[in-house]
Amino acid sequence: MNLDELKPKVVKIVSKQEKTVDEKLLDICQLLHDEVSYYNWVGFYFANHETKSLHLGPYIGAETDHTVIPFGKGICGQVAMSNENFVVPDVAAQDNYIACSFTVKSEIVVPLFVDGKNIGQIDIDSHVLDPFTEKDEHFLEFVNKEIAKLY
């Protein structure tokens, strides 16, 4: 599916008054997982700035042991510190990578900002080498801007 075609569906999920924030986040994870063939694990991590750690939020995909990630560790931890998107075409080539599954070949992490503060991130793993493009980055930035409206 064309990523632009998913934007109105994301907006619709965010605007549902009857659902909690976590339910909306889970629905977004499910939408992206189901509609983008190379999005094999989709989830959110949220920052605890006092403990300098990320905590797993809603996600869709294989179960993970990585429910708490220290700032600086792995791709997600690096994004918590850099406040910048991180696209990893081949996780095997990354020194500071936390392996979740041998099936994961690539990853994209995009920070979630609320009032200019990085409160978390969307994390996507793929079983395909190098599938992520600038279109994915821009789309996930759009998704996070919509989600920021919930906070």
Share of the chain above pLDDT 70, in %: 95
Angle (CA) 101-104-108 rounded to 5° is 125
Average pLDDT of every residue of the chain: 93
CB-count exposure of residue 26 (10 Å: 0-12, 13-18, 19+) = buried
pLDDT band at 1 (very low <50, low <70, confident <90, very high): low
Give the CATH number of the domain where residue 73 resides.
Answer: 3.30.450.40
> Mind listing the pLDDT tens digit for each residue in 16-63?
999 999 999 999 999 999 999 999 999 999 999 999 999 999 999 999
Element (H, E) at 122: strand 117-126
- Angle at which helices 3-15 and 21-35 cross, to 10°: 160
Question: What's the pLDDT score for residue 148?
Answer: 97
Q: Tell me the CA distances in angstroms from 149 to 74, 78, 142, one per residue in order.
A: 28, 24, 11
Domain range spanning residue 79? 3-148
Q: How many domains does the chain have?
A: 1
Bigger pLDDT: 34 or 2?
34
Residue 94 has pLDDT above 80, yes or no: no
pLDDT at 23: 98
